[in-house]
């Protein structure tokens, strides 16, 4: 696998698109403690292509068993969810020892971006917009929490990281939740010891 033309932590267009399996990574649009996120394209039959979002485990963490397990857990949760207010995952796999997720590329902005822009322009978000955002987020969370498995058992999925950076507003007005990296399927953790809180304290 080729190396990206950006140093770790830098965002923006790559000097040269990176070939990653059948994907072409074009732009690094995000990086966190566990993974980096790219705008990418993939080719289908008859010359048809599609832009997607690739979330890939960070290079230094490919052999970190705990981080790999968290990435697998995110894929496991994502596989259970199909809802208008949740960013859909198309594929989960491993390329050159890198775990990755292929997801919808949302044409829009995170709520964090929108809030920062409002702060720079010294304006308030209009109340109808805020109500729309909150109600749509709650729809997605309610769906995840009520989701049942094939046998009808409740999964009770809890996101655990609802922050402005993990909610997107598309140009078409769609509100979508992303990053289920530390989400939990509570039915799988019954009997586990308490005290394993995860997430950002300011938003818990």
152 backbone φψ class: left, alpha, beta (φ>0; ψ -120 to 50)? left
Tokens standing for residue 106: 């949302």
CA 167 to centroid of chain Cα atoms? 9
What SS3 class is residue 117? helix
What separation in angstroms does the CA of 119 have from each of 72, 109, 115, 122, 163?
37, 15, 6, 5, 17
161 classed as catalytic? yes
Q: Considering 107, 149, 161, 179, which one is annotated as catalytic? A: 161
Half-sphere exposure of residue 63, counting CA atoms within 13 Å on the CB side? Answer: 1
Q: Which residues of 44-64 are buried (b: 16+ CB within 10 A; e: fewer)?
A: eeeeeeeebbbbbbbeebeee
- Residues with catalytic roles: 161
């Amino acid at each position: 696998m080729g190396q990206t033309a950006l140093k770790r932590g830098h965002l923006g267009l790559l000097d040269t698109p990176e070939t990653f399996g059948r994907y072409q990574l074009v732009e690094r649009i995000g990086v966190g403690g566990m993974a980096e996120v790219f705008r990418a394209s993939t080719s289908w039959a008859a010359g048809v292509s599609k832009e997607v979002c690739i979330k890939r485990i960070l290079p230094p963490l490919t052999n970190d068993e705990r981080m790999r397990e968290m990435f697998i857990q995110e894929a496991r949760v994502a596989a259970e969810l199909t809802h208008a207010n949740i960013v859909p995952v198309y594929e989960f796999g491993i390329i050159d020892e890198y775990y990755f997720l292929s997801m919808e590329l949302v044409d829009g902005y995170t709520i964090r971006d929108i809030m920062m822009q409002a702060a720079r322009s010294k304006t308030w978000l209009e109340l109808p917009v805020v109500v729309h955002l909150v109600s749509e987020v709650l729809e997605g969370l309610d769906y995840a929490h009520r989701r049942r498995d094939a046998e009808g058992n409740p999964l009770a999925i809890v996101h655990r990281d609802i922050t402005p950076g993990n909610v997107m507003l598309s140009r078409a007005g769609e509100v979508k939740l992303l990053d289920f990296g530390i989400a939990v399927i509570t039915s799988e953790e019954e009997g586990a010891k308490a005290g394993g809180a995860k997430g950002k304290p300011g938003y818990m």
